[in-house]
Amino acid sequence: MLTKRIIACLDVDNGRVVKGVQFVNLRDAGDPAECAAAHARDGADEIVLLDITATSDKRQTMLDVVFRTARCLFIPFTVGGGIRELSDAEAVFEAGADKIAINSAAVKDSTLIGKIAARFGSQAVVVSIDARRVSSGFEVFVAGGRIPTGRDALLWAREAAACGAGEILLTSMDRDGTKAGFDCELTQLVADAVSIPVIASGGAGSAQDFIEVFQSGRADAALAASIFHFGLENIGQLKRELQAANVPVRWPC
């Protein structure tokens, strides 16, 4: 039976793992390659590495980090942040990523999704969506959550899937870093709207939050960052609790 995935996310700034609360207040949490390996040993099903302050002058630093992290990481490895065109994606794959995540660049030009998928396959293209609650539903934000687009998250997820995205990484900006639980309503709306897997993100604070996002949010995978870095919850413990709640997980592994 297909299991629900637990994905550990490393937010990386200038070569170091950091994690903010609602995109600010960064704290240093270590070396990306070491963190990724430790999460894999703990039972993480995948690693996502997000370059949160991607700028062109730091691009090489990032590619070096991707290379070092990927070298001995034998679970799926996704890299996002600052990928604006096909050549950026090629460089990240060349450095060792299995999938890339694109956000702002895909909103700006949705054909980028198809271009990368045509070269590397849909399974290698994750479209990342940052959504915030508004009166009419959920709105897509870009540029690290700074710029509203006026676009509906549900419609954008459908369009991204139609363009060739292999997975949707869906972040609730309202919940990000709060540890108040995933936004199950948002997750379920998007999960029901597309046939490709949806990764829920933003708000993980307890095992119960994961159980809820898998059961009522119908997420295929759930992602968390700070909860794992500072040892607040061990992935093995989390998976045992998921198993006890009849959520299928890869455990023991």
Partner 1 sequence: MIAQTIAIVDYGAGNLNSVKKAFDYLGAEVVVTTQPEIVASADKIVLPGVGHFSALGALDNTGLRDAVLQGASAGKPFLGICLGMQWLFEGSDEAPEFAGAGIFAGRCRPFPSSVKSPHVGWNSLAIREGSRLLRNVTPDSFVYYTHSFQAPVVAATTAASEHGMQFSAVVEQGNIFGVQFHPEKSWNVGLLILKNFCEADL
CA 51/CA 18 separation, integer angstroms: 10
Q: Tokens standing for 99?
A: 């999938």
Point out the catalytic residue in the list 13, 45, 51, 130: 130
Give the nearer residue to partner 1 in terms of CB position, either 75 or 238: 75
Pick between residue 117 and residue 180 the one whose CB is nearest to partner 1. Answer: 117
Q: Is 176 a catalytic residue?
A: no
184-193 and 207-215 helices, crossing angle to 10°: 30
Min separation Cβ 120 and partner 1, Å: 6
Report the chain's C-alpha Rg in angstroms.
16
11: annotated active-site residue: yes
- Give min distance, CB of 117 to partner 1, in A: 8
CB nearer to partner 1: give 74 or 231. Answer: 74
The contact set with partner 1 (CB under 8 A) reads: 1-5, 40, 45, 70-72, 74-76, 93-94, 96, 98, 120-124, 166-167, 195-197, 220-221, 250, 253
Two tokens, residue 82: 């600052």
Q: How far apart are CA 47 and CA 39, in angstroms?
A: 8
Q: Toward partner 1, which CB reaches closer, 46 or 209?
A: 46
CA-closest candidate to residue 152, choices 173, 129, 182: 129
The rounded distance, in Å, linking the Cα atoms of 42 and 234 is 7
Indicate which residue of 11, 45, 51, 176 is catalytic. Answer: 11
Give me the half-sphere count of Cα atoms (radius 13 Å) on the Cβ side of residue 30.
19
Distance CA 240, CA 154 (A): 32
- Distance, in Å, from the CA atom of 27 to the CA atom of 30, rounded to the nearest integer, reads 10
Q: Which residues are catalytic?
A: 11, 130
